[in-house]
Structure 1
């Protein structure tokens, strides 16, 4: 993305027709205070030349972008929420605002959160708290830095409405957010067609998804199974990348999983403070359904529901065959993701998996901060001296550590010159654990002091540049 592309509008979703979304009007907000603008990704889609007035017009009042979707569309979908089917959901506080192409020709969505009520709001107010928006910014930026394929928070405006919430001090400040994503077509989008027994709409969705997101499948004989196979592969990579990042999404319902295997919609998320397979993000996840170590299972379960929905128009055996590719794809993606985070090359043998197992055993025994150990030992043997003279040098010892160290040292560093970056001149990594997030928000809530957020975003950018894991690449397509 060295050369900024021109703005290229291409509204495709609305061509599916009125059965897939409802036209809605955005809320009228009393204030428009710009709190975040993603200049890097605005440049990637040709919107970096918008001045302040234009940003307010398009991303706070949601006036249509030129030659784009003429009105907002609240998307219709269903979903399993904590494995209970809910046919009463859809975009309840957001809508699809625009679609456009980036410099590589990829179709992207601009969609909102907190933009007002829709037919799917039920009794909710359709709003977003400012704290929720700040948390989404931090989650998306940090995940991108750690190599996770994630939606990007594009713009946030504080809106001046006092909101009442039962789970945080109220009244609290309000915001409206725009998210840039590869696709907002959820597994639940397909589940809705199956629930309503509409093979015509299901076929239209399959055709649309292949044309816009997986064009290499255009000539596939069994289009539903081919699409499922591609979605399985993309989501296996997603689940693996969360695990390597030490990230817990918190709410892996089927309306929070999408076709392109892109992480999005950050509510009660957490990063691991230390390795704990049972660590949960949401206080209401009392059974640990979406705990850290259960995330791959949750994604696979969601894929099973997608396969069931696609059986309305596809044959069972090919769909099952596509679904059954998940375990080996996930296993390889997990090794790839951890090797990338360690900054070392695969040996192509059993050592890769043995090294990962030894790492997790050491992390469980030591209870050291997850991100700190990743930072200390990035590029393996090339960081040995740096790690041992660092603040945790004295605890890098013992049987569990020695077992991991022996295996790690057998892997060649990849691009060890990355260690010359300013990031690795620091003694501590950037970590986005809950205590850090709450401290950032406290400064905003108590003093309207945004400097801690600005510092955190600069530190995250340094992390992204230093690790250089390529999370902004196009990728993830067959």
Structure 2
């Protein structure tokens, strides 16, 4: 582990010191040993782990005081200048075994100056849901923050959207950046052009060094183009995974194009473009089929902030990277989830996907089951015949889908040797699945179902072997 608290370069303008809450208990419920190893923290004893991630004693040589970042954001299309880290903070920055800068941020760690009327806490169920969602998305190859630690904190919380009093927790997540679109929005809103320029240069230096330039008018559009491509890639991965984020506010996008802040997320039971995750999204603004549009809209708001220091025309050109990056990633990630290679023609791959989605929508075939059954394409025809939904594969309507699946060669066929593919059904995180594993925790403090699902997700990750790899910097 190499400590690298680069946020201190700009924290005077973009962050405030935060004081962690004091909790009556600290019961470790989840520890990400795989990622702890990659950032040099695997050797921490349980007591040391709780000292750092429940009491927030600083890591050696790292931030001495946690920092709550300042930001604004559009929430369901309405601009809100009263935001900021209200129940979390940036606890530490470090580098992994590949030298990449990573942040340890919290959720539920207490009140900050941005808490407004909130208590700064996180329910245990909310923490459990984030651990599940992020682990599952990582298994599916989606670029996501990693749940690093979940500790139950012994407080009784009052909430309007779940039975109260309810149990409390503090979550630590590992991510590539804590800097949100809303961080730029706040600087622009306050007309802080010098600070905005500092922020742009900081992001270029730390995350996209290939965009660095002495001329801000050159660097800003180059940075925007890279953020645009990474955001498009993230949204395309959500679509391929059948994932609905639920709250695509601009303060829930970060500049490295990484999924985070899992609130009312859902996975699709079947293909439905109108499926909405959040019960309070009554207009369906963030419904499944609208996620690509909303991703571009968020980027347009980011681009608008750059006009404080850059002409609009090159920024508009930078945003044009969105559609081709999205289309390429959509085709590519769908094929990865099937373990298949491309036909060598993007248009042909997208035509195949259109036939797949149309068939899945018309038949309401379970989303995850279809990808599970046909992982390997022609290599899995025999396995697909044993599926609980094999009758759907025998209909004439499936013929063009079958052709698309079996005409593409499998990448790394040895993956089918993994025991995961001997199951009848894949691991899923549908709404009922999550409620079923939460019930024994709430009623009997029985964590066995939760631990079993995590084990199943790990098996899926190994079987799929879709490790996210950042794209090579563009010249």
Residue 340 of structure 2 corresponds to which residue in structure 1?
344
Residue 268 of structure 1 corresponds to which residue in structure 2?
264
Would the aligned equivalents of 2:142 and 2:234 in 1 still touch at CA under 8 Å?
A: yes
* 1:373 positional shift: 0.4
2:303 is aligned with 1:307: yes
1:14 to 8, 13, 37: 8
2:229 is aligned with 1:233: yes
Residue 395 of structure 2 corresponds to which residue in structure 1?
398
* 1:59 positional shift: 0.3
Would the aligned equivalents of 2:246 and 2:287 in 1 still touch at CA under 8 Å?
A: yes
Query: Alignment length, in residue pairs?
Result: 471
Which digits, 9 at most, give the CA deviation of each residue in 1:322-373, with x for residues without a partner?
0112111111111111111121111122321111011001101111110000
1:433 to 423, 430, 435: 430
Residue 243 of structure 1 corresponds to which residue in structure 2?
239
2:219 is aligned with 1:223: yes
Residue 185 of structure 2 corresponds to which residue in structure 1?
191
- Runs of 4+ deviating beyond 6 Å: none
2:27 to 33, 36, 42: 33
* 1:190 positional shift: 0.3
2:164 is aligned with 1:166: no
Which digits, 9 at most, give the CA deviation of each residue in 1:370-399, with x for residues without a partner?
000000001111111110133222221223
* 1:408 positional shift: 2.1
From the superposition, tell whether residues 474 and 328 of structure 1 become closer, same or farther in structure 2 (CA, over 3 Å): closer
Write the distance in 1 (CA, Å) between the matches of 2:351 and 2:470.
31
* 1:476 positional shift: 6.8
Residue 74 of structure 1 corresponds to which residue in structure 2?
68
Residue 410 of structure 1 corresponds to which residue in structure 2?
407
Extract unaligned runs of 5+ from structure 2: none
2:284 to 283, 288, 299: 288
* 1:474 positional shift: 4.5
Would the aligned equivalents of 1:377 and 1:383 in 2 still touch at CA under 8 Å?
A: yes
* 1:281 positional shift: 0.5
Matched residue of 2:155: which SS?
coil
Over the aligned positions, Cα root-mean-square deviation in angstroms equals 1.1
2:135 is aligned with 1:152: no
Would the aligned equivalents of 1:27 and 1:116 in 2 still touch at CA under 8 Å?
A: yes
2:364 is aligned with 1:367: yes
Write the distance in 2 (CA, Å) between the matches of 1:80 and 1:17.
23
From the superposition, tell whether residues 457 and 47 of structure 1 become closer, same or farther in structure 2 (CA, over 3 Å): same
* 1:17 positional shift: 3.5
2:381 is aligned with 1:384: yes
Would the aligned equivalents of 1:220 and 1:226 in 2 still touch at CA under 8 Å?
A: no
Residue 470 of structure 1 corresponds to which residue in structure 2?
467
Matched residue of 1:160: which SS?
strand
Matched residue of 1:241: which SS?
helix
Which digits, 9 at most, give the CA deviation of each residue in 1:53-106, with x for residues without a partner?
111111001011100011010000000000100000000000000000111110
1:278 to 270, 274, 278: 274
* 1:177 positional shift: 0.6
Extract unaligned runs of 5+ from structure 1: 1-6
Would the aligned equivalents of 1:354 and 1:407 in 2 still touch at CA under 8 Å?
A: no
Write the distance in 1 (CA, Å) between the matches of 2:388 and 2:52.
47
Write the distance in 1 (CA, Å) between the matches of 2:278 and 2:149.
25
Residue 123 of structure 2 corresponds to which residue in structure 1?
129
Residue 65 of structure 1 corresponds to which residue in structure 2?
59
Write the distance in 1 (CA, Å) between the matches of 2:405 and 2:388.
20
Write the distance in 2 (CA, Å) between the matches of 1:271 and 1:225.
34
Write the distance in 1 (CA, Å) between the matches of 2:15 and 2:82.
14
Write the distance in 2 (CA, Å) between the matches of 1:220 and 1:134.
45
From the superposition, tell whether residues 331 and 371 of structure 1 become closer, same or farther in structure 2 (CA, over 3 Å): same
Write the distance in 1 (CA, Å) between the matches of 2:404 and 2:32.
40
Matched residue of 1:161: which SS?
strand
Write the distance in 2 (CA, Å) between the matches of 1:62 and 1:115.
9
* 1:433 positional shift: 0.6
Write the distance in 1 (CA, Å) between the matches of 2:227 and 2:452.
37
Residue 4 of structure 1 corresponds to which residue in structure 2?
none
Write the distance in 2 (CA, Å) between the matches of 1:16 and 1:390.
55
From the superposition, tell whether residues 351 and 36 of structure 1 become closer, same or farther in structure 2 (CA, over 3 Å): same
Write the distance in 1 (CA, Å) between the matches of 2:6 and 2:288.
36
Which digits, 9 at most, give the CA deviation of each residue in 1:111-132, with x for residues without a partner?
0000000111100100000000
* TM-score normalised by length of structure 2: 0.98
Matched residue of 2:251: which SS?
coil
Write the distance in 1 (CA, Å) between the matches of 2:416 and 2:67.
46
Write the distance in 1 (CA, Å) between the matches of 2:15 and 2:458.
36
Write the distance in 2 (CA, Å) between the matches of 1:194 and 1:245.
35
* 1:165 positional shift: 0.2
